[in-house]
Amino acid sequence: MAQQMQHKVSDLGKVHLMGIGGVGVSAVARLLLDAGVTVSGSDAKDLPVLRELEERGARVHVGYDPQNLQDAQTVVISSIIKPGNPEYDEAVARGLRILHRSEGLAATMAGHHTVTVAGTHGKTTTTALTAHMLRTAGTSPSFAVGANIASLGVNAELGQGSIFVAEADESDGSFLNYRPDVIVVTNIEADHLDHYITAEAVHRAFEDFARLLPEDGLLICCADDPGAAALARTMRRERPGLRVQTYGFSDTADRRLSDAHPVGERFVATVEWGSGQEHELNLAIPGEHNLLNAAAALAVGMHVGLEVEEALDALASFTGAARRFEFKGEVASIRVYDDYAHHPTEVAAALRAGRAVADEGELHVIFQPHLFSRTYEFYRQFAEALSLADTVSVLDIYAAREDPIEGVTSALIADRIEVPSAVLDNEQAIVRVVESAAPGDVIMTIGAGDVTHLGPRIVQAMREQQD
């Protein structure tokens, strides 16, 4: 596979970032500022992160204008920036160096021992767990995560240590721009088929990513996921000298989890490996999927030389990532959570976690499908996953970057859910869950769109009902 040119921060000069308000581009901006680079940027929306970057020394603009480039020497763009954007067109006309967000991030990784976390699901939480563990253990890692993390304070930071932990986004194939020393693969499933077209192409991309590892690299794969386990087998066969480790509840895993169960508000499992050692993995975030994520982080910790108990203690203090089973409030013993899940496997995992937290109570869900193409591809699987709830309200599809597809509506999902369900607007959905929920129940808002804004409104509606 052709090697992409690798850039160094010292070669970039003054950098202008387009789409700087997005979580991925803002992470690059923070890292460049930490490195002492002169940074400017623009975004279509006036977001709070712009003020934060401005306070750090960046020159930021709301709206795109060729004059915003000023004397920039390098331009970093998000995936949504295309020809026709006036700043992009100006950068092309001036012959400026134009880098994709991933290439800008790769430049900040240079000179570090780089750990990249990839997968169709779980990569944000696993990256955050790993960065939190390393920072808590005092290694001062650099990191870039696809969400804001309360325990870290920011989504990206250039640390003083030698380790760089980064979330590697496979959605557009841009993770192939990285040069990792360690790769964690949480799972591989068909997704982002608007880019890849076929499931086979998704798997090939992960194989190409694993081939980027150096001879002394390390590949860490989830043994419970068929796609990740197949990748581990392929790389063991193709590169016998490469170190490959697996983790999971599977009997074949190198680091094996067992006896997963809730203890109060926490989730606990036993973790052991070939040496016969057994340890307790104890988390503040719910669900077996998060125990798997933490096992992956633990494998990284052992790789970089942490003592096992030191790593486990650090993982135990992690409180979660934004929009990953994020607690929004409680009224009359009814708890409200928000989750970013937008693929059927993620939705099922989130609902199983919600079930565990609800215990004897019921689970009420507001789900917003994300993308017409994903809804068309997976509507049956979404319906099956959502049937784990007691009631489901399905919002209209969040289009994001897509145009509508004829015949593809939220009813494709709602009509196939095996528990009481309906396609509702935001106001109707809020009324329904507030009227349905009783003490001990759990309400969840789920999806990658603006459904996240409903959580606080549900909490407020319940408070008004109590008055």
Active-site residue list: 123-124, 167
Cα–Cα distances in Å, from 136 out to 132, 133, 149, 313, 324?
6, 5, 14, 9, 21
Residue 14 is assigned to a ligand binding site: no
Q: Check the annotation: does 123 bind a ligand.
A: yes
119 annotated ligand-binding residue: yes
Q: What 3 state SS string does 258-296 have?
A: EEEEEECCEEEEEEEECCCCEEEEEECCCCHHHHHHHHH
- SS3 of residue 144 by DSSP: strand
Contact criterion met (CB below 8 Å) for 462 and 385 = no
Q: Is 391 within any annotated ligand binding site?
A: no
User: 124: annotated binding-site residue?
Assistant: yes
On whether 122 is known to bind a ligand per the annotation, the reply is: yes
**Collapsing DSSP states into helix, strand and coil, what is residue 75?**
strand
DSSP label of 249: S
Residue 78's nearest CA partner among 7, 29, 114 is: 29
Maximal CA-CA distance, the chain: 67
**Bridge partners (DSSP) listed for residue 60:** 41
If you ran DSSP here, which 8-state letter would residue 422 be given?
Answer: E
3-state secondary structure of 163: strand
Q: Are strands 59-62 and 142-144 parallel, antiparallel or unpaired?
A: unpaired
125 is in an annotated binding site: yes
- Annotated binding site for ATP, which residues? 119-125
- Annotated binding site, which residues? 119-125
